[in-house]
Amino acid sequence: MNKFAHIDSRGSPGMVDVSRKAATTRRAEARCVIELPPATLAQLRLDGWRVGKGPVFDTAIIAATQAVKRTHELIPFCHPLPVESCVISIDELGDAGLSIGCVVVSHARTGVEMEALMGVTVAALTIYDMCKSMGHGMRIGDVRVVSKSGGTHDFEGVA
């Protein structure tokens, strides 16, 4: 059975000590999907992806970037990291909805997977919030880390 990194020898939770680790360039990419009803997608396309609250994609990108930078404030044992790059992408999936991606890069002693996951989920939540007046038939899912590099355990999954 794997040992949980955030549990010490006494069984108490705490932040992992990364002070002895070398700072390296860490990169992580996460993705998620937000499904929107076809009628909602059609209306959004017709309106140029703008709703009463403003431009949907631009607002989601700004919210996601803010969330990435504040991950350590929301996830208890995440280390504050210097976010050196944060790229959010939002792509249409035909009539199925949207695919949201987030790539985060930092030169640090620990990885940035949580920051990338925070980015995609907050972007999806922002889209939901901006579009809920058109109906609540949206669904956020398939949240995952696609890849990570720069630490002891690199990972390359399926996009």
Active site residues: 129
Residues 6+ apart with CB under 8 A from 48: none
Give the integer Cα–Cα distance in Å for 26 and 128: 30
Q: Is 92 left (phi over 0), alpha (psi -120 to 50) or beta?
A: beta
Give the total residue count for the chain.
159
Residues 30, 119: contact at Cβ < 8 Å?
yes
Give the integer Cα–Cα distance in Å for 88 and 104: 9
